[in-house]
């Protein structure tokens, strides 16, 4: 198996449309990180007594790392009590903290090793982490879940997320936004496929005394192992002098922010443009992730009985019947489903649009339109316009996803493509920061206003205005973005020396891309079609399952 970057350089007849489905196969697999909440309730009731009743929880959430008052067990090591959602939720935090950190730490290695080797390492980390977590569930050891899926799996997330980015940008210099949007759409869609699949698997494996979670982890690990391995092996990189047939780079005067040279990884963070883009991504994500994470309770608390055709009832102010509670929960799940769809398709739609609009203008749209929509959300929440409220937050979700997909192309425009994967990896620390900042703002303001006995329907208005202010900060940062100064770019001689060194990195690789039969072979059309069907079928399944859930909004 040839893994070095030099050995996977494609010949002139390779079909570049084989690379996006390879990237989708990887991103659809690791995107299940978004859907891990489906395991919280089954894991929270994993231990039962002889009558099938769940055992008590280990301790209050804040006591996860400390001894219980009634004994000496720690939640991390206890085998005689169930885990709280607080205990399990740390896996979700570890996912996205480790994603940003690992992408930043090993992004430089990825550029040297190539996407195929990085993709396979990500496969081992993500799937191996799931297997360790399966063992942790089987033995009821919380620390193994944190270590397996949270820590090791989080490293796999970071490497898997950035592994195709620079490759796709180099294959599609004429459609940078569209190319990265297709792959990053997969990360957003992973939970759309994985969550209903995991639910079906748990139902299949469940018994009166077991939730079927560890078996589900094992099956998912095997499925993802196949998809991620095939996707990683499908990665190919273009030759340094390759360009799409008939395409000519636009004149610099027409695109002031589109660099024709390359900034070295060691210089990228020294530029003000890097930190402006860091702030841009952080503000865009912070403003979106907080409300997306609280979408279902936000809708239920704001509209109460209106959701179940009983407008005189307040959802949280009174004790609803079991039937009403289930109906409201179904509507909340439908709202989350709609947001998921807009989040996913916003990634490909907005990123593709940025190829025409320009990356800077696209972010201006995100910040201006987003702020207007948050202010509109404040008004429609007060007036109880349910349909308009749903529309507002679906569009916000689309721009949240679009921000993720557009940022790699923005980086390539400013810093060139030579190190864009590694630079993108470092920039993802903004995501890790936003993953803490956004939810903290939303949840803190929610709880403070709730303690002040503000009516549930009026809780979120000031929160929306605060998030609009975050977008205002992003607008200012985007306004300050200018072309990178000449002193930060590599000289032509330095670039040529670097590319020559890359060709000689693997001394054992004697593959010559010009004379190799595989390099000269034309990619079969059936292979390209098969690759797209392989990722298209699970995506269609996920969309159908999500639409079924979202239909509750209309019934």
pLDDT band at 502 (very low <50, low <70, confident <90, very high): low
Q: So what's the pLDDT on residue 8?
A: 87
Write down the CATH number for the domain with range 255-492.
1.20.1250.20
Closest by CA position to 471, among listed 400, 408, 415, 531: 400
Q: Is the pLDDT assigned to residue 508 strictly greater than 60?
A: no
DSSP letter at 7 equals: G
Cα four-point dihedral sign 69, 72, 74, 75: negative
User: What does the pLDDT average to over 65-83?
Assistant: 62
| Greater model confidence, 217 or 39 | 217
User: What does the pLDDT average to over 444-453?
Assistant: 82
Give the whole-angstrom CA distance, residue 408 versus residue 282: 14
> What is the tens place of the pLDDT at every residue in 521-537?
678 899 999 999 999 99
Q: So what's the pLDDT on residue 69?
A: 40
Give the whole-angstrom CA distance, residue 345 versus residue 351: 10
pLDDT band at 271 (very low <50, low <70, confident <90, very high): very high
> What is the tens place of the pLDDT at every residue in 152-204?
999 999 999 998 888 898 899 888 899 889 888 888 888 889 888 998 999 89
Q: Which range has the worst mean pLDDT, 253-267, 314-328, 464-478?
A: 314-328
Q: Is the pLDDT assigned to residue 301 strictly greater than 90?
A: no
Other beta carbons within 10 angstroms of residue 529's beta carbon come to 13
Cβ partners under 8 Å of residue 424, min gap 6? 103, 107, 162, 165, 166, 407, 408, 411
Cβ partners under 8 Å of residue 549, min gap 6? 333, 334, 336, 337
Average pLDDT, the chain: 84
Cβ partners under 8 Å of residue 418, min gap 6? 111, 262, 264, 490, 495, 498
Which two three-digit tokens encode residue 359?
A: 């990356």
Which residues is 82 bridged to in the sheet?
57
CATH fold of 1-55+74-242 reads Growth Hormone; Chain: A; (1.20.1250)
Residue pair 106/162 in contact (Cβ under 8 Å)? The answer is no
CATH 1.20.1250.20 domain position(s) in the chain: 1-55+74-242, 255-492
């Amino acid at each position: 198996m040839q893994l070095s970057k030099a050995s996977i350089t494609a010949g002139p007849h390779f079909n570049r449309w084989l690379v996006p489905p390879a990237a989708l196969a990887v991103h659809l697999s690791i995107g299940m990180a978004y859907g891990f909440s489906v395991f919280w309730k089954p894991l929270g009731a994993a231990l039962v007594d002889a009558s099938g009743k769940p055992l008590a929880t280990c301790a209050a959430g804040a006591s996860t790392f400390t001894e219980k008052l009634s004994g000496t067990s720690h939640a991390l090591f206890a085998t005689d009590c169930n885990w709280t959602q607080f205990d399990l939720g740390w896996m979700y935090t570890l996912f996205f903290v480790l994603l940003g950190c690992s992408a930043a730490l090993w992004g430089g290695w990825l550029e040297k090793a190539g996407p195929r080797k990085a993709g396979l390492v990500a496969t081992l980390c993500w799937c191996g982490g799931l297997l360790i977590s399966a063992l942790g569930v089987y033995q009821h050891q919380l620390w193994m879940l944190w270590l397996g899926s949270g820590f090791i799996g989080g490293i796999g997330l970071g490497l898997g997320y950035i592994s195709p980015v620079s490759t796709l940008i180099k294959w599609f210099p004429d459609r940078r936004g569209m190319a990265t949007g297709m792959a990053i759409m997969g990360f957003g869609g992973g939970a759309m496929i994985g969550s209903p699949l995991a639910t079906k698997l748990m139902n299949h494996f469940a018994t009166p005394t077991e939730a079927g979670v560890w078996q589900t982890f094992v099956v998912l690990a095997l499925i993802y192992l196949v998809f991620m391995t095939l996707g990683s092996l499908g990665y190919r990189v273009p030759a340094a002098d390759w360009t799409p047939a008939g395409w000519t780079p636009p004149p610099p005067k027409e695109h002031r922010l589109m660099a024709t040279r390359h900034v070295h990884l060691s210089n990228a963070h020294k530029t003000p443009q890097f930190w402006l883009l860091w702030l841009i991504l952080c503000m865009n994500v912070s403003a979106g992730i907080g409300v997306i994470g609280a979408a279902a309770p936000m809708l239920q608390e704001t509209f109460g009985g209106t959701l179940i055709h009983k407008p005189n009832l307040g959802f949280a102010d009174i004790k609803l019947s079991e039937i009403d509670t289930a109906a409201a929960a179904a509507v909340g799940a439908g709202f989350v489903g709609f947001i998921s769809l807009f989040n996913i398709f916003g990634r490909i739609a907005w990123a593709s649009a940025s190829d025409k609009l320009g990356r800077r203008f696209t972010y201006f749209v995100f910040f201006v339109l987003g702020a207007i929509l948050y202010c509109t959300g404040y008004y429609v929440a007060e007036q109880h316009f349910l349909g308009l409220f749903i529309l507002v937050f679906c569009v916000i979700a689309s721009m949240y996803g679009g921000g993720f997909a557009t940022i790699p192309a923005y980086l390539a425009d400013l810093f060139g493509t030579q190190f864009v994967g590694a630079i993108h990896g470092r920039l993802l620390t903004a995501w890790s920061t936003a993953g803490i900042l956004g939810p903290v703002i939303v949840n803190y303001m929610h709880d403070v206003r709730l303690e002040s006995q503000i009516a549930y329907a009026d809780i979120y208005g000031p929160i929306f205005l605060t998030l609009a202010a975050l977008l205002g900060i992003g607008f200012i940062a985007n306004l300050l973005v200018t072309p990178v100064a000449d002193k930060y770019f590599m000289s032509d001689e330095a670039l040529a020396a670097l590319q020559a060194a890359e060709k000689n990195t693997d001394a054992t690789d004697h593959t010559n891309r010009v004379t190799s039969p595989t390099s000269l072979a034309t990619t079969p059309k059936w292979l390209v079609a098969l690759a797209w069907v392989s990722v298209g079928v699970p995506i269609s399944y996920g969309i159908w399952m999500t639409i079924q859930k979202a239909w509750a909004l209309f019934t």
